[in-house]
Amino acid sequence: KFSFGLNTLIQGEQPPGQSSLFTLLYFTFTLHNMGLLDIVPAGVITGDNVRKVFDYAQEHGFAIPAINCTSTSTVNAALEAARDIKSPIIIQFSNGGSAYYAGKGLSNDGQKASILGAVAGAHYVRQVAAAYGIPVLIHSDHCAKKLIPWFDGMIAADEEYFKAHGEPLFSSHMLDLSEEPKEENIEICLKYLKRMAPMKCLLEMEIGITGGEEDGVNNENVDNASLYTQPEDIWDIYKAFSEVTDLFSIAAAFGNVHGVYSPGNVKLHPELLGKHQKYVQQQLNTKDDKPVYFVFHGGSGSTHQEIATAVSFGVVKMNVDTDTQWAYLVGFRNYMEAKKDYLKAQVGNPEGANKPNKKYYDPRVFVREGEKTMITRVQDACKDLGNVNVL
Q: Which among 26-30, 113-117, 319-323 has the top mean pLDDT?
A: 113-117
- The C-alpha angle 59, 276, 238, rounded to 5 degrees, equals 85
In this prediction, residue 382 has a pLDDT band, given cuts at 50, 70 and 90, of very high
Query: What radius of gyration, in Å, describes the C-alpha atoms of the chain?
Result: 23
Sign for the pseudo-dihedral over CA of 129, 132, 133, 138 = negative
pLDDT for 358 equals: 98
Name the β-bridge partners of 131: none
Lowest pLDDT segment from 180-194, 292-306, 330-344, 359-373: 292-306
Catalytic residue among 141, 176, 215, 384: 141
Question: Residue 214 domain-assigned?
Answer: yes
Question: Residue 343 domain-assigned?
Answer: no
Does position 262 have pLDDT exceeding 90, yes or no? no
Lowest pLDDT segment from 18-22, 115-119, 128-132, 349-353: 18-22
Question: Residue 347 domain-assigned?
Answer: no
Classify burial at 64, counting beta carbons within 10 Å of its beta carbon; exposed 0-12, middle 13-18, buried 19 or more: buried
d(CA 60, CA 56): 6
Does position 318 have pLDDT exceeding 60, yes or no? yes
Phi then psi dihedrals of residue 250, to 5 deg? -125, 125
Does position 66 have pLDDT exceeding 50, yes or no? yes
In this prediction, residue 258 has a pLDDT band, given cuts at 50, 70 and 90, of low
pLDDT for 57 equals: 98
Rounded mean pLDDT of 193-212? 88
The b/e string for 203-224 (b: 16+ C-beta within 10 A; e otherwise) is bbbbbbbbbbebbebebeebee
Does position 229 have pLDDT exceeding 80, yes or no? yes
Rounded mean pLDDT of 40-68? 98
Listed residue (338, 333, 237) closest to 283, CA to CA: 237
d(CA 153, CA 155): 6
pLDDT for 9 equals: 39
pLDDT for 261 equals: 44
pLDDT for 34 equals: 85
Question: Residue 197 domain-assigned?
Answer: yes
Structural domains in the chain (count):
1
Sign for the pseudo-dihedral over CA of 30, 33, 36, 41 = negative
d(CA 348, CA 354): 5
Question: Residue 389 domain-assigned?
Answer: no
The parent domain of residue 250 ranges over: 35-324
Contact between 185 and 163 (Cβ < 8 Å) = no
d(CA 190, CA 114): 23
Question: Residue 358 domain-assigned?
Answer: no
Active site residue 55: no
Contact between 56 and 36 (Cβ < 8 Å) = yes
User: Kind of pairing, strands 217-219 and 212-214?
Assistant: antiparallel
- The C-alpha angle 212, 213, 214, rounded to 5 degrees, equals 130
Question: Residue 232 domain-assigned?
Answer: yes
Contact between 147 and 188 (Cβ < 8 Å) = no
Give the domain CATH number at 64.
3.20.20.70
In this prediction, residue 211 has a pLDDT band, given cuts at 50, 70 and 90, of very low
d(CA 342, CA 380): 32
pLDDT for 224 equals: 54
pLDDT above 70 as % of the chain: 85
pLDDT for 4 equals: 43
In this prediction, residue 301 has a pLDDT band, given cuts at 50, 70 and 90, of confident
pLDDT above 90 as % of the chain: 80
Rounded mean pLDDT of 331-342? 98
Lowest pLDDT segment from 2-11, 157-166, 282-291, 380-389: 2-11
Rounded mean pLDDT of 352-361? 98
User: What would the pLDDT profile of 134-175 be if each residue is shown by its tens digit?
Assistant: 999 999 999 999 999 999 999 999 999 999 999 999 999 999
Question: Residue 18 domain-assigned?
Answer: no
For the entire predicted model, the pTM comes to 0.88
Contact between 255 and 268 (Cβ < 8 Å) = yes
